[in-house]
Amino acid sequence: MGETRTVSVVIEGRVQGVSYRAWTQNEARARGLTGSVRNREDGTVEAVFSGAPEVVADMLTLCRSGPPAARVTDITVREQDDPPDRQGFQILHD
């Protein structure tokens, strides 16, 4: 099995109410990434991506624009030591 990169990402801007979570789930699944995405109370979206380093990097680039109605103003990326416990890529509902 190859190298795995896991990151936690917080996306700021107009990212709630624009299908950002569904778009993220579709893009991540299409790339074979595991992890999750959720809305946060402060109006941002948080995601965890885990997979091949180059695929995670590609997903981070995509997140900087998001779906058509989104207006991303900033992204904060934190490297994680451990991949997520769950399989697949899920939308979390708090």
Q: Which residues are catalytic?
A: 21, 39
> Per DSSP, what are the bridge partners of residue 86?
none
- Determine the Cα–Cα distance for residues 56 and 46; give it in Å rounded to an integer: 15
Residue whose structure tokens are 């058509």: 68
> Per DSSP, what are the bridge partners of residue 6?
50, 80
